Amino acid sequence: MDIHFFKKFIQGGIKMKIELVKSLEIPEIKVIRFSRFLDHRGYFTESYSLRDFSPIKNEIGDWQVCQMNESFSKEHTIRGLHFQWNPYMGKLVRTINGHMIDLILDIRLESPTFGKIIAYNMPSELTDVFNEWIWIPPGFAHGNIFIRDTVIQYLCSGEYSQGCEAGISPLAKDIDWSLCDSILKNMFFTIKYRADLKITDKDKNGFSLEQWKLNDNSKNFMYGNL
């Protein structure tokens, strides 16, 4: 994994703003760690700043925030795997408080990792000295599982477009889990088979990979054209 460190001068000394950027098993997926500044009152952080994200454009591309969403999910919830075209929507996602495991599935036709899913563990406590974003560019279906009651936030590079969005069922049997961390994979399947699993019918009954490949809209996600 490639790691780049960035420092920011603040009055009174040098403090880390963006601490690191790293690639995951599918290198287009990036994790951005940033500092929280704690004291006896609590903490302060700039969770997003155009100024501080500008130096990492080579890592995550040059895009603008068009929409900001917040979501609360109860323990043992599975969401996803969602994606959109016309306009495309990249997502910068973080856990505000709770425990999310993020899920990212490659849906780019002819991609060497098409159909493969990865996961990233994103717990967050209010006493943590850092927080993390995960960047999911267009060409990937996105979802999450929640180990406990959790609040998340995501910044989007495109506004929601009804009729130009779809989903792969996270329960689809033809998803390839071979790249996924085995511990996180097991956590997913443990929740999947729980009697108290919370998932919408829309997500549960989403496309399988094979069904999506046969859908004309899949051609909006050609490897190398995004």
Mean pLDDT by 10 residues, the chain (226 residues): 40 59 96 92 89 86 92 98 96 98 98 98 95 97 98 95 95 98 97 97 97 96 91
10, with CB counted inside 10 A (0-12, 13-18, 19+), is exposed
Half-sphere exposure of 93 (CA within 13 A, CB side): 26
How long, in residues, is the chain?
226
Cα–Cα dist 220/189, whole Å = 30
Cα–Cα dist 201/198, whole Å = 10
Determine which one of 82, 99, 120, 142 is catalytic. Answer: 82
Cα–Cα dist 193/118, whole Å = 19
Q: So what's the pLDDT on residue 3?
A: 44
Catalytic residue at 154? yes
Q: So what's the pLDDT on residue 61?
A: 87
Q: So what's the pLDDT on residue 52?
A: 85
Q: Which helix (H) or strand (E) holds 79?
A: strand 77-84
Buried-state track 172-195, b at ≥16 Cβ within 10 A, e below 16: beebeeeebbeebbebbeebeeee
Are the beta carbons of 60 and 28 closer than 8 angstroms?
no
DSSP string of 103-157, one letter each residue: EEEE--BT-TTTTBEEEEEEEE-TT-SEEEEEEE-TTEEEEEEESSSEEEEEEES
Q: Which domains does the chain have, with CATH numbers?
A: 24-30+65-220 (2.60.120.10)
**How far, CA to CA in Å, does 130 sit from each of 78, 142, 210, 223?**
25, 23, 40, 34
Q: So what's the pLDDT on residue 55?
A: 87
Q: So what's the pLDDT on residue 15?
A: 46
Cα–Cα dist 192/96, whole Å = 24
Determine which one of 76, 88, 99, 154 is catalytic. Answer: 154
**How far, CA to CA in Å, does 134 sit from each of 1, 34, 95, 206, 213?**
15, 11, 10, 24, 26
